Amino acid sequence: MIKSMTGFGAADGPLGGTTVSVEIRSVNHRFFSPTIKLPSALSRWEADARELLRSRLSRGHVTLTARVERPQGTAAGIDEAVFAERASALRSLKDRHGLGGEVDVATVLRMPDVFRSPSEEAEAVTGTAAEFTAVLARATDALDAARVAEGSRLVEFIRARLLVVEGLFAQIAARSPERVQSHQARVRERVQALLRGVALDEQRLAQEVAILAERLDVAEEVDRFTAHVASFRETLARGAEGGAEAGVGKRLGFLLQEMLREVNTTGSKANDAATQRDVIAVKEELERIREQVENLE
What's the one-letter identity of residue 18?
T
Q: Are 3 and 292 in contact (CB under 8 A)?
A: no
CATH of the domain at 285: 1.20.120
Enumerate the β-bridge partners of residue 115: 78
What pLDDT, on a 0 to 100 scale, did the predictor assign at position 121?
A: 46
Tell me the average pLDDT of the chain.
Answer: 83
Do 227 and 242 sit in the same domain of this protein?
yes
The count of structural domains within the chain is 3
Residue 142 falls inside a structural domain: yes
Do 111 and 50 sit in the same domain of this protein?
no
CA-based nearest residue to 227, from 185, 255, 189, 263: 255
247-273 pLDDT, tens digit each: 788 899 999 999 999 999 988 887 778
Question: What are the φ/ψ torsions at residue 271 (nearest 5 degrees)?
Answer: -125, 20
Do 56 and 158 sit in the same domain of this protein?
no
Q: Which residues contact 40 (CB under 8 A, 6 or more apart)?
A: 123
What pLDDT, on a 0 to 100 scale, did the predictor assign at position 259?
A: 95
Do 289 and 228 sit in the same domain of this protein?
yes
Do 61 and 82 sit in the same domain of this protein?
no
* Cα-based distances in Å from 257 to 7, 91, 172, 233, 283: 26, 81, 19, 15, 11
Q: What is the pTM of this model?
A: 0.69
131-174 pLDDT, tens digit each: 999 999 999 999 999 999 999 999 999 999 999 999 998 988 88
What pLDDT, on a 0 to 100 scale, did the predictor assign at position 218?
A: 80
Question: What is the domain range of residue 175?
Answer: 147-179+217-293
Strands 60-69 and 77-78: unpaired
Q: How many CA atoms lie within 13 Å of 6's alpha carbon, on the beta-carbon side? A: 10
What's the one-letter identity of residue 42?
L
CA-based nearest residue to 78, from 113, 32, 126: 113
Distance spanning both ends of the chain, measured CA to CA: 10
Lowest mean pLDDT among 58-67, 195-204, 241-250, 280-289: 195-204
* Cα-based distances in Å from 139 to 12, 62, 64, 133: 8, 12, 10, 10
Q: How many CA atoms lie within 13 Å of 167's alpha carbon, on the beta-carbon side? A: 8
CATH of the domain at 136: 3.30.230.10
Q: Are 76 and 117 in contact (CB under 8 A)?
A: yes
- Order the strands of the 18-27 sheet from edge to edge: 7-15, 18-27, 60-69, 32-37
Do 140 and 173 sit in the same domain of this protein?
no
